[in-house]
Amino acid sequence: MPSFRIMTAPMQVDYHNVLRVWQEADAIPEIEHAWLFDHLMPIGGDPDGPAYEGWTLISALAAQTRRLRLGLLVTSNRFRPPAMLAKIAATVDVVAGGRLDFGLGRGLTS
């Protein structure tokens, strides 16, 4: 049986719309994963529009879903100190009941 994943951009959208999409996806067994991304600023659209912090938002979404595996595509190792990021991810995994998939990127260098 095929399986599917969704990715919702945590920018230029109202939180309640993202939550609605994730809850609807959580009710569809063929959708196995849901993802956000980890950018500090909007990467498109209105530069002054909403852009939610990925780890905070995924924690809120984890608390409101039950089945989906979840994660961020992909966390930059330059935004947060390693020990803090590990603590954040561990907390999200507890909130999610062990459903967090963790990915770490090296970030861009100049």
Residues 6+ apart with CB under 8 A from 26: 34, 65, 66, 67, 68
Q: State pLDDT tens for residues 58-81.
A: 999 999 999 999 999 878 777 888
- Residue 50 pLDDT > 80, yes or no? yes
- Residue 109 pLDDT > 60, yes or no? no
Instruction: Give the confidence band of 107 by pLDDT, cuts at 50, 70, 90.
Output: low
Q: Is 72 exposed, middle or buried (0-12, 13-18, 19+ CB in 10 A)?
A: buried
- Among 82, 36, 84, CA closest to 60: 36
Whole-model pTM?
0.90
